[in-house]
């Protein structure tokens, strides 16, 4: 390869190419935001959308099996995460963590709730499981699909 001097015209070409790349990246990012806004912001909704698109686009039975295993794990950790996140938390004077979860009753019935002690290791383990499941999804998509 030969060295080519950086003329004003070449600088303009590089700048235009750079703008093209940056603007397309911005469009891709906005498409992801739009999908999230239209589909709904909940993880559960996004998992359903992803599952539907995958079922529509992919015909390989082995890929479906791998994908379904990952989606099952993601739904599981999301459900367990919701049980923790959508609760009222408090720490007693004995440094015991409690969560109060409101249980929806039937219409016209009083709302019930329960309170349980929470072992921090349970939450740490769930955080690790979320990270692991996320990593599995990333590896799966990177190994089978190209952008």
Q: Name the pLDDT band for 135 (thresholds 50, 70, 90).
A: very high
pLDDT at 103: 62
Distance of CA 54 to the CA centre of its chain: 16
Q: How far apart are CA 31 and CA 14, in angstroms?
A: 26
pLDDT at 76: 94
pLDDT at 18: 86
Q: What is the pLDDT of residues 91-134, one digit of tens each?
A: 766 666 667 766 666 676 666 666 677 777 888 999 999 999 99
Give start and end residues of each alpha helix (H) in the chain: 8-39, 43-57, 61-85, 120-144
SS3 of residue 114 by DSSP: strand
| Comparison of pLDDT for 64 and 110, the residue scoring more | 64
Task: Please measure the distance between the N-terminal and C-terminal CA atoms of the chain and give it in whole angstroms.
Answer: 29
Q: What is the pLDDT of residues 1-59, one digit of tens each?
A: 677 788 888 888 888 888 888 888 888 888 877 887 787 778 888 898 889 999 999 99
Domain borders along the chain are 1-39, 42-144
Q: Quick one: which of 79, 103, 100 has its CA closest to 89?
A: 100
């Amino acid at each position: 390869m030969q060295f080519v001097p950086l003329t004003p015209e070449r600088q303009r070409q590089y700048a235009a190419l750079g703008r093209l790349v940056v603007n397309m990246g911005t469009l891709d990012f906005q498409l992801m935001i739009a999908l999230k806004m239209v589909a709904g912001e909940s993880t559960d909704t996004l998992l359903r959308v992803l599952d539907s698109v995958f079922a529509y686009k992919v015909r390989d039975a082995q890929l479906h099996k791998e994908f379904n295993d990952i989606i099952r794990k993601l739904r599981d950790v999301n459900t367990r995460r919701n049980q923790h996140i959508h609760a009222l938390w408090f720490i007693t004077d004995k440094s015991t963590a409690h969560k109060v979860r409101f249980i929806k009753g039937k219409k016209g019935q009083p709302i019930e709730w329960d309170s349980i002690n929470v072992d921090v290791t349970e939450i740490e383990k769930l955080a690790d499981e979320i990270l692991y499941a996320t990593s599995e999804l990333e590896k799966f998509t990177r190994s089978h699909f190209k952008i």
